[in-house]
Copies of this chain bind each other. A is one copy, B any other.
Amino acid sequence: MPRPIITLTTDFGQSDPFVGAMKGVLYSVNRDVEIVDISHAVNAFDTLDGALTVANAYAYFPNETIHVVVVDPGVGSARRPILVRADAHTFVAPDNGVLSLVYERSERISVRHIDAEHYFRQPVSQTFHGRDIFAPVAGWLSKGVEREKFGDEITDFVRFALPKPKPVDANTLKGVVMKVDRFGNLLTNVSPQDVPEGRPFTVACGKANITKVARSYAEGAPGEPFVIVGSSGWYEVSANKAAANRLVGAERGAEVVFRW
């Protein structure tokens, strides 16, 4: 039997001892787990950024992986901790929408309100549920405790929709930059299905008016921004060996207008 895998996605950063404390709690519940960091650099308090981060990584893990997602601006408030089964993956997270994209992409989901407090670390602090609730629950799940034991199913869980691109007229679509990656690529919320197939189009973003659609980064000429379908399936504004965000002068939240 392989060791169960537990992934972590948080906005805790890696300079404080928060992630270390969570891992210590996990190993204290189950010594025989594989803990994998997805990212701890989600923008602080930013559930949309957290939703994008986990959604673009979890499906590459084997079935039966347990994913702990802690982007939790409401820690200590009445927001519920939840346990989610989505197809063959299991998630432990606050009920604040951070799993919205997981819900959207799964065929079958079941969401439970975790209220079995005997699985929590005691006393539960009001400021660090990652350590006191989410980590120990994931640990017990990895030991084989059945999901039903943690709480009842709910249907009124929180989910938000990603910002959708808006049609301006029959030939124009207005989207938005959802994220800028490490290389400066601008991840938009527009995907190939949103644009008529076979029609050439232009993309206005920042101070650039882009006509080139590339199939790979290497196709771009130096200093020339282009549009490309990125690794997560959306159009990105990119550049060859250069940071597109600086090149076109746009950041997260910037408008992106597709015209055909």
Chain A interface (Cβ < 8 Å from any Cβ of B): 2-3, 5, 7, 9, 11-25, 27-28, 31-32, 34-42, 44-45, 52-54, 56-62, 65, 73-77, 79, 125-128, 131, 181-183, 215-219, 228-231, 240-241, 243
**B residues in contact with A7, CB < 8 Å:** 20, 24
For A55, the closest partner residue in chain B by CB is B17
Determine whether the beta carbon of B14 is less than 8 Å from that of A41: yes
Please name 6 further chain A to chain B contacts, defined as beta carbons within 8 Å, in addition to the given A27-B62, A79-B218, sorted by A numbering.
Answer: A16-B181, A17-B57, A19-B38, A45-B241, A73-B217, A127-B216
Whole-angstrom distance from the CB of A142 to the nearest CB of chain B?
13
Whole-angstrom distance from the CB of A123 to the nearest CB of chain B?
11
Determine whether the beta carbon of A231 is less than 8 Å from that of B131: yes
Determine whether the beta carbon of B38 is less than 8 Å from that of A17: yes
**B residues in contact with A182, CB < 8 Å:** 11-13, 15-16, 18, 44
Select which of B3, B31, B56 is within 8 A of A17 by beta carbon: B56
For A13, the closest partner residue in chain B by CB is B182
**Chain A residues touching B, majority SS:** loop
Select which of B31, B40, B181 is within 8 A of A2 by beta carbon: B31
**B residues in contact with A41, CB < 8 Å:** 13-15
Bound CA–CA A96/B76 (angstroms):
38
Bound CA–CA A160/B107 (angstroms):
50
Whole-angstrom distance from the CB of A229 to the nearest CB of chain B?
8
Query: With A75-B216, A182-B44, A231-B128 in contact, is A5–B27 under 8 Å at CB?
Result: yes
Query: With A2-B31, A216-B126, A228-B127 in contact, is A17–B75 under 8 Å at CB?
Result: no
